[in-house]
Structure 1
Amino acid sequence: MPVRFYAQGAPSWWKYQLVSLANQRLPSRKLYFYDFLVDNGMFNFYKRGERPLLDRWLEHLKRFVLEIDIRYKPENITIILPDWLHDPAFTLKAATHFLSRMLCKDYECLLVVHSSPSFGGYSRAALEAASIPWATGLAAPLKLNCSRTAKNRRVIKLHCQQAIVEQVCSIASRHGLSCHGLGVALKPDHIKRLVGLGLTSFDSSSWTRPNSSIIEKMLGGRWSAKNSREKDLFMKVVLQRLSREVELEGVERTWSKRI
């Protein structure tokens, strides 16, 4: 089965766009084209140690989603419902809020599966999330939960990501739900393993930072994703590398038009 790769800040020709309520950056306006994954933007509050009022934040999220729907008339919109790192109780409370129920009547909704010592592991949290009838999928939080800082760089623990995906996606599959990976390490063989465990979509910001030796070998010289021309090249390189290991949705159409 093809898997979807959502990328924030991706070139406008890439269909699967991750956009966030935190910065509200949107791609070029194309009607009837995009498939949007909408991040709820709660992590910005988490970094500041502030919890927003849930009613107000869901109202902001609803307005942002409606703006996207009206402006782009996209093929699909999937919403990551509000969550809080290591707080599954808050995440479930947000998912059962009446504004969440209203949003999920019109759009697909993902529930992030967080765990905590008091609540239990990912399997139990996934079972609780899967019981929400308006959820269309579960999301496995893989970035901060599976990383450490070493010598001024972030090191991703691949075995950790694999263990979380295995727990969350097995529950999602059992309940007929999709399974999304938040912040997946952008390594083709690693993603292939995760897809084998039931991952149906994923996102990653690492497409703007592909391995420099690979870039130099494929493109020659030094490159940066800071301008649009080089951003196009970075995205194409990443898609080509991923496509060697996994079947990506939307790649064939992209290749015929852009490569």
Structure 2
Amino acid sequence: MPITLNGAVACVTGGGRGIGEAAVRALVDQGARVVIGDIDLAAAQAVAASLSGVQAVKLDVADPDSFEEFLKVAREMGPVDLLVNNAGIMRTGAFVTLDPASLHREMAINVGGVINGMRLVLPEMQQRRYGHIVNVSSMAGKMTCSGAAVYTASKFAVASLSRTVRAEIAGYGVSITTVMPSVVDTDLTAGMNIRGIPKARPCEIAAEVVASCRHGQPEVTMPKWLFPIGAIEQALPERLGHWVKRMAGAQERIAPDNARTRKYQERVSRS
């Protein structure tokens, strides 16, 4: 069932920058009343201040109590019609060299945040038989990315979780769309050697978020022609797939060490 965005109450996590900010702006353009949740409250407030009728709340998506307080602000305007689970981080580098605590935190944000958000809004949506959830995953949820092992695992988890919950709520009038971009021009990919890899702008992903409120399709890949990539990777012998990625310098492209990647890693270490 499509949802109407004009007048809808919409919640966007990680809305202080990147895809989240673009989604907030696109939803406001459609007439939605938006609440931004971000662990960086100053960034969220800056976005909210530039728009009409938008509120900003400090949110740690990995903390269920924090998520509940975020939703409480939205519910003061009415039932939540749309939740965009966008918040996420990526720690890069060789898996064995990364701090275990940072990797567990990455999973807590990227997967735990989606679990918390869906668990908190679905009962009300099911009761109303109305509502839509967008879970922002990645094409890393369909293929392995050397140099970002836990990020890859988290995006596989988001895609699988979304599929399973969709099956459980079938018939309740509530839809869940998993948006799976390739590379997006945000701070997360700053400094990476991504020549030859399809790249999107945040506003293009935001447009897919808005469109999903009408069509409710289960999965949307960006660009769309990448949809079968997961099946292709699974069909290849694993050793052959590893060889191809080594020849392409996959790890060096995903996890280079330079001023721009260090700046991003330093910021997310405080998330």
More relative contact order, 1 or 2 (CA 8 Å, 6+ apart): 2
TM-score (norm 1): 0.37
TM-score (norm 2): 0.36
